Amino acid sequence: MASPSIPSSALIKCWRQVSSRNDIAEVSQTRFWELAPGHVVGFISLQMINEMIVQHPSMSMACTLGIQDLTVQIDCV
């Protein structure tokens, strides 16, 4: 699910970047929507292979796409 203000090609590119990381087993439940004009929020669920997170992969995604508020659920497998 995507916000109309975010091009789907940008979402796909970011999803590929996040899911290609070696420490991520699965990316699921991605939801992005425009809460108010110009204010995009989102949710993403990540299954991490290990508990140590050196750099949060979704932070670059949020910055690249212009998401102001991003909730990330992390589960370790």
**How does DSSP classify residue 66?**
T
Question: Percentage of residues in the chain with pLDDT exceeding 70?
Answer: 78
In sequence order, which ranges of 1-77 are alpha helices (DSSP H)? 8-19, 57-65
User: Does the residue 1 lie in any domain?
Assistant: no
Phi, psi of 36 (to 5 degrees): -145, 165
Q: Which domain holds residue 67?
A: 8-76
Structure tokens at 45: 């669920």
Separation between Cα atoms, residue 49 and residue 65, nearest integer Å = 25
In this prediction, residue 56 has a pLDDT band, given cuts at 50, 70 and 90, of low
User: Does the residue 30 lie in any domain?
Assistant: yes
CATH number for position 59? 3.30.70.1350
The verdict on pTM exceeding 0.85 is no
Secondary structure tally for the chain: helices H, strands E: 2, 3
pLDDT score, position 53: 62
Amino acid (one-letter) located at 24:
I
**Mind listing the pLDDT tens digit for each residue in 33-54?**
888 888 888 888 888 887 666 5
User: Does the residue 3 lie in any domain?
Assistant: no
